[in-house]
Amino acid sequence: MPENHPVRGLSLMSGGLDSRLAILVLKEQGIEMEAVVFSSPFFKIKAAVEGAKLLGVKLHIVDFTADILELLKKPRHGFGGAMNPCIDCHARMIKRAGEMRVAMGFDFVSTGEVLGQRPMSQNATSLGIVERDSALGGYLLRPLSAQLLEPTVPETDGRVDRSRLLALTGRSRKPQIELAKTRYHLDSWPSPAGGCMLTESGFARKLREEAEHEGLDDLFCVKLLTRGRHFRLPGGTRAVVGRDASDNAALEEMRRPGDVLIHTENVPGPSILLPYGPKGDDLETALALCAAYSDHDHMAEVSLRVLSDEAPATRRLVPPPRESFQDWLVR
C-alpha cells in the first residue's frame, strides 16, 4: 500500500441491486465507502437514499440538472430507446465523481456496471468509451466485473485486492440475486428499471415537443413536464392539466408572477397552469379545457376561478366534451 491512510472509495449509487452489491463487495475488504447520486428533474433518487441508508454509507446528492440539459441537446453517442443519452450521461456522472475523488481525497471511483449486462451502455465498447470520456484514467473500478477488465491503479498498487473482486458478465441477473441473498443477506431491492423518466417513451415525446417550442434552457418548463397532462393550445400556449390532487397542489405551488392558474369552484376538477400566461385566445380555450376535465356530471355550468397578476376572476362555462381537445394533447 503506497499511502498510509485508510483506503476510501466513492461509488455511484442508483440504488438498484448492482450498485448496492458493488459497495458491499468493496466494504467486505475493509475499504471505507461513500456513495454519490446525481439528481435532476428526470431522475428519482429515492432508491439511492434508501440503499445508502441500508448499507450504512454516506450519500452525496449532487445536482446534475445543468449537465443533463446540456447532454440532451446533442449527445455525442446518441440516444437509447427514448430520449436517454445513457453513454454520455453515465460518462458525465463518472467524470463528476472523478472531480469529487480529487477534491475529497478518495482513492478511486466505483460503479455497479456489469460487463455485457445492457446492450447499449454496458458492453465492452461502451465501458471503454465511458472510461475514456470520463477522463478518470485508471481510477475507475467496476468491482462486479473487475476480473474481466484491465487492472485499475488501486488494484495494481494494492489498495484494492483484485482477487476479492468479481467476474460477473452477461444479461442474467441470477448471479447477483444469488450473491445478494446468500452472501449479503439482502431480502429486497428495487427493480432495475424505473428511476429515469428519459427512458420512458411518453415522457420523451413531451420533452421533444418542449425542445421544439420552448427549448431546453427553460428550467421551469422542463420541471413542469414531470406534472400533469400537457396540451399545446392553438395560440401556442402550453396548458398543464393536473391529473390528481398531488398534481393540482404542485401546479398551484409552482405558479409564478406572469403565469395563470385556473381551477374549478363548484365541482371537483383539475388545476390548469399556463406558464407565461395565455397567448392569443388561449385563455378561453384553457377555461373550456378545465371545464371539460372537471367532474361536472353533466351539470349545466362549471364555475372557474382564474388567478393571474390581476384580481382573481370567476367565469361560468358549459363544459364541452373532452374529445374536442384531443388534437392538442401532447402524447
Question: Could you tell me the three cell numbers for 184?
Answer: 449479503
Pick the closer one to ligand SF4 by CB: 140 or 196: 196
- Which residue in the set 22, 149, 196, 260 belongs to the binding site for ligand SF4 (CB under 6 A)? 196
Nearest to 89 by CA among 72, 102, 73: 72
Least separation, in Å, of the C-beta of 43 and ligand SF4?
5
> With contact defined as beta carbons under 8 Å apart, do 258 and 209 qualify?
no
Helix (H) or strand (E) segment spanning residue 315: strand 313-317
Q: Where are the alpha helices (DSSP H) in the chain?
A: 17-27, 46-55, 65-73, 86-104, 124-134, 153-156, 174-178, 201-213, 219-224, 245-254, 282-292
When asked if residue 19 is in the footprint of ligand SF4 (CB under 6 A), the reply is: no
Exposure class string for 10-49: b at 16+ Cβ within 10 A, else e:
bbbbbbbbbbbbbbbbbbeeebebbbbbbebebbbbebbb
13 belongs to the binding site for ligand SF4 (CB under 6 A): no
- The span from the CA of 159 to the CA of 154, in Å, is 5
Per rule CB under 6 A, is residue 43 in the interface with ligand SF4? yes
**Nearest distance in Å: CB 197, ligand SF4:** 8
Contact letters (x/-) for ligand SF4, 137-176, by CB under 6 A? ----------------------------------------
Residue 10 Cβ vs ligand SF4, minimum distance, rounded to whole Å: 18
* Residue 311 CB partners (closer than 8 Å, separation 6+): none
Residue type (1 letter), 10: L
| Residue 122 within binding range of ligand SF4, rule CB under 6 A | no
Minimum distance from residue 124 beta carbon to ligand SF4 (Å): 18
Residue 86 makes contact with ligand SF4 by CB under 6 A: yes
Amino acid at 276: Y
Which span sits near ligand SF4 by CB under 6 A: 26-34, 55-63, 86-94, 296-304?
Answer: 86-94
Q: What SS3 state is found at 231?
A: strand
**Residue 21 interacts with ligand SF4 (CB under 6 A): yes or no:** no
Size of the site for ligand SF4 (CB under 6 A): 9
| Candidate residues 12, 20, 48, 84; the one interacting with ligand SF4 per rule CB under 6 A | 84
From the list 12, 140, 198, 286, which residue makes contact with ligand SF4 (rule: CB under 6 A)?
Answer: 198
Q: Which span sits near ligand SF4 by CB under 6 A: 195-203, 225-233, 243-251, 271-279? A: 195-203
Q: Kindly write down the DSSP assignment for every residue of 63-112, as one continuous string.
A: E-HHHHHHHHHS-TT---SSS--HHHHHHHHHHHHHHHHHHHT-SEEE--
The SS3 assignment for 126 reads helix
Which one among 90, 96, 142, 263 touches ligand SF4, defined by CB under 6 A?
90
- CA–CA separation, 36 and 48 (whole Å): 9
Is residue 117 a contact point for ligand SF4 (CB under 6 A)? no
Nearer to ligand SF4, 109 or 233 (CB): 109
d(C-alpha 181, C-alpha 161), whole Å: 23
Q: Which residue in the set 126, 145, 199, 237 belongs to the binding site for ligand SF4 (CB under 6 A)?
A: 199
CA 136 to chain centre: 24
Q: Which of 85/319 has CB closer to ligand SF4?
A: 85
Check residue 89 for interaction with ligand SF4 (CB under 6 A). yes
> Please, which residue, 41 or 138, has the CB nearer to ligand SF4?
41
Beta-sheet pairing, 260-264 with 229-232: unpaired
Closest CB 83 distance from ligand SF4, rounded Å: 8
Is the Cβ of residue 111 or residue 145 nearer to ligand SF4 in the bound state?
Answer: 111
Residues that bind ligand SF4 (CB under 6 A): 43, 84-86, 89-90, 196, 198-199
